[in-house]
């Protein structure tokens, strides 16, 4: 499985690298790869969130026995792990493939950042949807953009740092 992921990561990197030359004056290859793979993951995350919110939960609350989750928070709880596993694989095998840290260390650190982002995402979503009564999907897009900036710097300097 690891060899398949490495091969797939190299293939995806070559595709991304093909589009890099016009941007090389403005950013490093690693930053470009992060931007492209982050954008792919962000679109994937928003689509998963949208589908869960609208087609699985049907914009209804989710009763869980002793408590219930509002539909926008339940959609977040379901979509967040899926999109973050996809994001970890992209970052490990495409963007930060030169990190010498062991995979389990990267995964552990990645999930620390994931939980920080989950907290940020939850606060922003609750503020916008419940506090300001803003639409759910645009609120999730805004929360995701905030998390992207936090994530890039923490992933580069902590999760996938190089010597």
Domains of the chain, residue spans: 2-15+31-159
Closest CA relative to residue 93, chosen from 9, 1, 33: 9
Amino acid 130: pLDDT? 95
User: Contact, 162 vs 105, CB < 8 A?
Assistant: no
Helix (H/G/I), strand (E/B), else coil: 64: coil
Residue by residue, pLDDT tens for the chain (163 residues) are: 889 999 999 999 999 999 999 999 999 898 899 999 989 998 999 999 999 999 999 999 999 999 999 999 999 999 988 998 999 999 999 999 888 889 889 989 998 998 898 899 999 999 999 999 999 999 999 998 898 788 888 998 999 988 7
Query: Would the pTM of this model clear 0.85, i.e. be above it?
Result: no
Amino acid 89: pLDDT? 93
User: What token pair was written down for 133?
Assistant: 């009564």
Amino acid 47: pLDDT? 96
Amino acid 154: pLDDT? 92
User: Contact, 9 vs 94, CB < 8 A?
Assistant: yes
Amino acid 144: pLDDT? 84
Closest CA relative to residue 121, chosen from 135, 149, 140, 97: 140
């Amino acid at each position: 499985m690891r060899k398949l992921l490495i091969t797939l990561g190299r293939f995806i990197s070559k595709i991304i690298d093909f589009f890099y030359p016009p941007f090389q004056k403005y950013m490093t290859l690693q930053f470009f790869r992060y931007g492209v793979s982050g954008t792919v993951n962000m679109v994937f995350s928003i689509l998963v969130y949208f589908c869960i919110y609208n087609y699985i939960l049907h914009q209804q609350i989710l009763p869980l026995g002793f408590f219930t989750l509002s539909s926008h928070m339940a959609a977040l709880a379901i979509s967040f792990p899926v999109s973050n596993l996809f994001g970890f694989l992209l970052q490990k095998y495409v963007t930060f493939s030169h990190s010498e840290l062991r995979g389990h260390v990267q995964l552990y650190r990645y999930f620390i950042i994931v939980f920080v982002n989950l907290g940020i995402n939850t606060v922003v979503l609750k503020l916008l949807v419940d506090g300001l009564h803003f639409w759910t999907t645009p609120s999730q897009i805004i929360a995701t953009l905030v998390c992207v900036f936090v994530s890039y710097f923490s992933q580069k300097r902590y999760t996938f740092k190089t010597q």
